Amino acid sequence: MSLVTPQRLQRFDIQGPRYTSYPTADRFVEAFGADDYAQALRQRCEGQASVLPLSLYVHLPFCDSVCYYCACNKIITRHHERAAQYLHYLAREIDLHVAQLGAGQSVSQLHLGGGTPTFLSDDELGQLMAMLRRSFNLVAGGEYSIEVDPRTVDAQRLQATARLGFNRISFGVQDFDPEVQKAVHRVQPAEQVFALVDEARRIGFESINVDLIYGLPRQTRDSFARTLAQVGQLRPDRIALYAYAHLPDRFKPQRRIVSAELPDAASKLGMLASALAAFEGEGYVYVGMDHFALPEDPLAVAKRQGRLHRNFQGYSTQPDCDLIGLGVSSIGRVGATYSQNAKTLEEWCDLIDQGHLPVTRGLALTRDDLARRAVIMALMCQGQVLFESVELAWMLDFRNYFAAELERLAELQAQGLVAVDDNGIQVTPEGWYFVRAVAMVFDRYLQSDRQRAQFSRII
């Protein structure tokens, strides 16, 4: 860890994609629509992929109140009756998928995100799980996870969630400091979070994650150090540590944040350096990018064994598989295609009313996209690329095909972030902290236009 100095962090304090996909979602086009997506679903049924389990993501956009830092697709409302109508349309969207895929497709991974999934009542979550089980086969031993706002649940709700089949849970913590919580309009006492995590452990959730954000208003290095100490006491199985990106022109809730209260760049880098040291001191494994896990957690085990994968929810232990996105703005991946649903509730509902899959944009990947995706995902997940495996899979000469990229990679090699030899590319232990910078070298779209303003910081 001593090699990851503040100076090195500052050197790579740049913007870049998270590579939950390649090409990235900003490359999706409206020329790819519902008919293209339906064709991809049918082709899945006809090919070898039909026997492989699916991954499902369900977007539940509603929140009781707005968190000022939030950049998610959400609908702020106190009218909980809106969830019933949303579930009605979700059921119809599922039926549209079943019409293409057939019923009973195996699912080994399910994630409920938002918004606030626990905006739904226990009965409504039960209805959602029942409709999913009617149409899909949720296999034993799968990963079934839900995002939870600690302000919306108690011990009884956690127990109900477990009874519905969820075995993984993620708590949105962000920061324990009361002044920071006030500044971002998300007040939740630390005692409440500690009690919920204890209850989740007692119930037997297989993995408990907490989300943290550094760079929020009124955060200081000292205040964040106290939060880090509390997280150490909490000892979740996994930690996601995100950098706050202040983009008020793009995300209206962020306009309520007082810019003068934001920490400066040096303070943010100091917080990151402190977090890296603190988590290492607590025995966490740096899985990659912004994720940490205890050594015995399946995510850390998968990293050690070279079995990490990535999808639109981030790092995963599940094999690379097709992802069905359900709900407003959801993104999916089927075969060599990506697709995204309508981003507004009105358009999403209207398309379903017309009997259409509510896809409004996406992408059919080219051979070059697929080859580069293989390289980028190998770097992001395994930390290495073997030339021969790429050459055999894509019938190309790696050094010739990626000559320009290998030339650019020489600079990162000189800095000790990668090692390149006759067999392939190996990310060094220090380079793993900057793996997004390594992957960016192979991003043809990024290299051609250099437009990075829409992306988060890479560290």
What's the whole-number average pLDDT of the chain?
Answer: 92
In the annotated binding site for [4Fe-4S] cluster, the residues are 63, 67, 70
pLDDT value of position 458: 52
Please tell me the distance from the alpha carbon of residue 421 to that of residue 90, in angstroms, as a whole number: 50
pLDDT grade, residue 294 (50/70/90)? very high
Residue list, annotated binding site for S-adenosyl-L-methionine: 57, 69-71, 114-116, 147, 174, 186, 211, 245, 331
End-to-end CA distance of the chain, in Å? 15
Q: Give 3's pLDDT tier (boundaries 50, 70, 90).
A: low
* pLDDT tens sequence across 174-214: 999 999 999 999 999 999 999 999 999 999 999 999 999 99
pLDDT tens sequence across 142-163: 999 999 999 999 999 999 999 9
Q: What is the greatest pairwise CA distance in the chain?
A: 62
CA atoms lying within 13 Å on the CB side of residue 391: 11
Which residues are within 8 A (CB) of 282 and not within 5 positions of it... i.e. 6 or more apart?
232, 235
Q: Which residues are annotated as a binding site?
A: 57, 63, 67, 69-71, 114-116, 147, 174, 186, 211, 245, 331
The answer to whether 361 and 32 have CB atoms below 8 angstroms apart is: yes
Say if CB 298 and CB 326 are below 8 A apart.
Answer: no
What is the reported pLDDT for 306? 85
Q: What percent of the chain has pLDDT over 70?
A: 95
pLDDT of 334 reads 96
Q: What integer pLDDT is reported at residue 452 of this predicted model? A: 47
3-state secondary structure the chain: CCCCCHHHHHHCCCECCCCCCCCCHHHCECCCCHHHHHHHHHHHHHCHHHHCCEEEEEEECEECCCCCCCCCCCEECCCCCHHHHHHHHHHHHHHHHHHHHCCCEEEEEEEEEECCHHHCCHHHHHHHHHHHHHHEEEEEEEEEEEEECHHHCCHHHHHHHHHCCCCEEEEEEECCCHHHHHHCCCCCCHHHHHHHHHHHHHHCCCEEEEEEEECCCCCCHHHHHHHHHHHHHHCCCEEEEEECCCCCCCCHHHHHCCHHHCCCHHHHHHHHHHHHHHHHHCCCEEEECCEEECCCCHHHHHHHCCCCEEECCEEECCCCCCEEEECCCCEEEECCEEEEECCCHHHHHHHHHCCCCCEEEEEECCHHHHHHHHHHHHHHHHCEEEHHHHHHHHCCCHHHHCHHHHHHHHHHHHCCCEEECCCEEEECCCHHHHHHHHHHCCCHHHHHHCCCCCCCECC
Q: How confident is the model at residue 118 (pLDDT cuts 50, 70, 90)?
A: very high
Quick one: pLDDT band at residue 459, thresholds 50, 70, 90? low
Provide long-range contacts, Cβ within 8 A and 24+ apart, for 138-141: 138/107, 138/110, 138/165, 139/53, 139/106, 139/107, 139/108, 141/108
Give Cα separations from 166 to 106, 200, 205, 268 (angstroms).
16, 11, 8, 35
Read off the pLDDT of residues 233-273 as tens digits, 9 standing for 90 and up: 999 999 999 989 898 998 999 999 999 999 998 898 889 88
pLDDT band of 54, cuts 50, 70, 90: very high
Q: What is the pLDDT of residue 2?
A: 46
Is the model's pLDDT at 390 over the cut of 50?
yes
- Domains of the chain in start order, with CATH, are 1-21+366-459 (1.10.10.920), 22-323 (3.80.30.20)
- Catalogue the long-range contacts made by 448-453 (C-beta closer than 8 Å, 24 or more residues apart): 452/14, 452/15, 452/16, 453/15
| CA 345, 346, 351, 353 torsion-angle sign | positive
Determine the pLDDT at residue 6. 64
Dist. CA 19–CA 366, nearest whole Å: 17
| 377 alpha carbon, distance to own chain's centre | 14
- The answer to whether 257 and 69 have CB atoms below 8 angstroms apart is yes
Q: Examine the pLDDT at 418 and tell me if it is beyond 80.
A: yes
Higher pLDDT, 192 or 457: 192
- The pLDDT assigned to 14 comes to 67
Q: What is the pLDDT of residue 446?
A: 87
pLDDT tens across 55-80, in order?
A: 999 999 999 999 999 989 999 999 99
**What whole-number distance in Å separates Cα of residue 111 and Cα of residue 48?**
24
Q: Could you tell me if 263 and 257 are in contact, meaning their C-beta atoms sit under 8 angstroms apart?
A: no
Q: Taking Cα atoms as reference points, which of 234, 207, 198 lies closest to residue 300?
A: 207
In total, the chain counts a number of residues equal to 459
